[in-house]
Amino acid sequence: MKDVAIVGYCRTGIAKAGRGAFKGAALVGAFVIIVAAWWWDASLLTAAADENLQLIKTITGVLPFDWGSKVESALRIFGADRALLLMEGVVIAKVIMLSIAYPFRHRRP
């Protein structure tokens, strides 16, 4: 009985470590994608950041009263447009990693 619980804990720990490694690799991959895009054409990153800023303006525009401008100012101060750029890079890196790993996954019946 005790051995079964230990095996369960080990599987859970290994799964969590694998997920953490996947997230870390996606973050590193996002930085690689951003650096490669910057090296290839820096205006591409500027255009993406501008589109993210436009998205922030659109979303904060629907907030009531004066909240929209205050939230927009706060998000600009915190660099939300660049954070969105990093998150887009993470998504692209995860899609690339999953598309590479998909053929090697074993199917469970």
Report pLDDT digits (tens) over 14-69.
Answer: 777 878 888 899 999 999 999 999 999 989 888 988 888 898 888 888 888 788 88
pLDDT at 109: 60
Distance (Å) of CA 29 to CA 38, 55, 78, 82 = 14, 24, 23, 16
Q: Give pTM, 2 decimals.
A: 0.72
What is the chain's mean pLDDT, rounded?
84
Of 44, 45, 74, 69, the C-alpha closest to 57 is 69
Q: Which two tokens stand for residue 31?
A: 């930085």
pLDDT band at residue 7 using 50, 70 and 90 as cut-offs: low
